[in-house]
Amino acid sequence: MKVLANDGVSQSGIDALEKGGYEVITTTVAQEQLINYINEKDISVLLVRSATTVRQDLIDACPNLKIIGRGGVGMDNIDVEYAREKGLSVINTPAASSHSVAELVFGHLYGLSRFLHNSNRDMPLEGDSNFKGLKKAYAKGTELKGKTLGVLGFGRIGQATAKVALGAGMKVIAFDPFLENANLELDFFDGQTVNFDIKTISKEDVLKQADFITLHVPAQKEYVIDEAEFNIMKDGVILANAARGGVLNEVALVKAIESGKVARAALDVFEKEPKPEMQLLMNPSLSLTPHTGAATNEAQDRIGTELASQIISILG
């Protein structure tokens, strides 16, 4: 049987599938040519990440397709329920990239709290001519230790981010409409483990109490953070969105930065990917990455092997 990994898959995933007797094709086929390619090549399994969409037209037009796999968590680029109604298996890898996203969030939070995103731009330009001026400009950093991190969305990624926060000495508070509490186990290099029981609280209480806020919610119709939510937050809060573009109102974010309500913010995802608004790209109070939350070698290895394991389990 043939597997088309249209957005790529790790070598570990390819090795596992080939060992299981599958032929793996890693050609990237243009969206408009995908239906013909799948049918001509008799593809049984289509693996995608975020670049390729799998809608009803493709599902209807490719009767030999048995599995649609998403390397990662969110499946908003796949018509999941429709595919399952048509008898296809739809799989993803919700746990594989959790820690990678958590580390990216903290890369941003540490950078923002010490102005690294600005300093790294300014030092090459002014480091030799304005060293003292830059030192003064970036002298009012803050520590994360002892501060409160508010986590909106306390699923796998939210909990992974909370674990990093706890390891950094932060207090963690969380909101999740589907979860009352979670037991987090922190594993250390020497085999020790420490458990934390986190009880979720209301969204309003998280917004009011948090010094830092991170979003880990699925794509949805309404903004999770809009003007009303910004108004509730502490003055000078630092915010991170590595969840989905569209869960945070970017226009309201810019206004909140201008008013001083939000000190600085990090965005890994955008409402208008792959062309974010210029006012975001040029804003000196924003730390930006191009949707790379899950983009570590370790996560991609886990994603590839997990997908391979599920495919072999389903198809034998």
Q: Catalytic site residues?
A: 244, 273, 291
Q: Which secondary structure element, helix H or strand E, spans residue 238, and what is its range?
A: strand 237-241
Q: Which residue has the tokens 């959790």?
A: 98
How far apart are alpha carbons 175 and 223 in whole angstroms?
Answer: 15
Dig out the tokens for 83 from the structure. 């595919």
* DSSP per position, 187-202: E-TTS-EEEEEEE---
Residues 6+ apart with CB under 8 A from 250: 267, 270, 271, 277, 280
Provide CB contacts within 8 A for 40, sequence distance 6+: none
Are residues 148 and 135 in contact, defined by beta-carbon separation less than 8 angstroms? Answer: no
With tokens 């999740």, the residue in question is: 176
CA gap 151, 157 in Å, rounded: 10
Question: Can you say whether residue 240 is alpha, beta or left, with left for phi > 0 and alpha for psi between -120 and 50 degrees?
Answer: beta
Q: Which residue has the tokens 């030192």?
A: 135
CA neighbor of 52 nearest in space, from 7, 82, 4, 5:
7
Q: Report d(CA 97, CA 128) in Å as an integer.
A: 40
**Which bin fits 191, alpha (ψ -120 to 50), beta or left (φ > 0)?**
left
Residues 159 and 105: their CA atoms lie apart, in Å, by 12
Residue 311: both structure tokens together: 């495919």
